[in-house]
Amino acid sequence: MFTGIVTDVGRVRAVRDTNRDRRFEIETGFDVSDIDLGASINHAGVCLTVVEKGEGWFAVEVSGETLAVSTLGAWSEGRRVNLERAAKLGDELGGHIVSGHVDGVGEVLSVAGEGGSHRVRIRAPRPLHRFIAPKGSITIEGVSLTVNDVEDDVFGVNLIPHTWEVTTLGELRPGSRVNLEIDMLARYLARWRETA
């Protein structure tokens, strides 16, 4: 489990295909000696397992399924990546409950300055858009955010200067593809309503 609070921005240092899967090596500012093999780390919204590590880096393997349903299939060397280590019991829950399972890939439609912040409008894939509500939570590229407005399959979020500067969201441009995870509570409520 994660909270959507990014604690490091890593960089892809190597990419290698292995049969159907792909291996990424990620440079990080995390204390790698404190990361166990088998640990879960959120990578731009995708929970991945550490399979190897060295000084200042660790490696993860990504299945063909994950490559197909997220933006990871387009990752290349040099790409910056939002990282968050798994939450521990007793940690502050600064964002919202995030599983690290991408529900779909959205497309950035616009990015505009708004005071000191930035308003970003994103088109969500159908039928995922049904789970996005004003003032609800959403995870974009691993970052917990509050939805400001929704119009059909397009929603807007406001990025404060801190989030803009310390995550990869400051690199968003119209046409950017982003990993989306809807609020877990919305997912279960919708399922309950379908079966009730």
Q: What is the pLDDT of residues 124-163, one digit of tens each?
A: 999 888 899 999 999 999 999 999 999 999 999 999 999 9
19, pLDDT greater than 90: no
> What are the two backbone dihedrals, phi and then psi, of residue 74, each rounded to the nearest 5 degrees?
-100, 0
Q: Of 26, 20, 22, which Cα lies nearest the Cα of 52?
A: 26
Which H or E run includes 78?
none
Residues 52, 118: one domain?
Answer: no
Residue-wise pLDDT for 48-59, tens only, equals 999 999 999 999
> What are the C-alpha distances in Å from 168 to residues 35, 131, 183, 191?
23, 24, 21, 32
Residues 64, 138: one domain?
Answer: no
Residues 136, 174: one domain?
Answer: yes
Number of domains present in the structure of the chain: 2
What's the sign of the alpha-carbon dihedral 1, 83, 170, 94?
positive
C-alpha–C-alpha distance, residues 5 and 16, integer Å = 28
89, pLDDT greater than 80: no
Residues 78, 115: one domain?
Answer: no
* Mean pLDDT of the 65-74 span: 95
Residue 2 lies in a domain: no
Residues 57, 120: one domain?
Answer: no
Average pLDDT along the chain:
92
* Mean pLDDT of the 57-73 span: 95
Residue 91 lies in a domain: no
pLDDT at 192: 67
Residue 45 lies in a domain: yes
Residues 130, 189: one domain?
Answer: yes
Task: Give 106: exposed, middle or buried? Use CB within 10 Å, 0-12, 13-18, 19+.
Answer: buried
CATH number at residue 17: 2.40.30.20
Residues 185, 109: one domain?
Answer: yes
Structural domain harbouring 176: 104-195
Residues 161, 81: one domain?
Answer: no
Residues 147, 187: one domain?
Answer: yes
Residues 79, 108: one domain?
Answer: no
Residues 59, 31: one domain?
Answer: yes
On whether the pTM is more than 0.75, the answer is yes
Pair of tokens at residue 82: 């939002």
- List the beta strands (DSSP E) in the chain: 8-18, 21-27, 40-43, 46-54, 57-62, 80-85, 104-114, 117-123, 137-140, 143-151, 154-159, 177-182
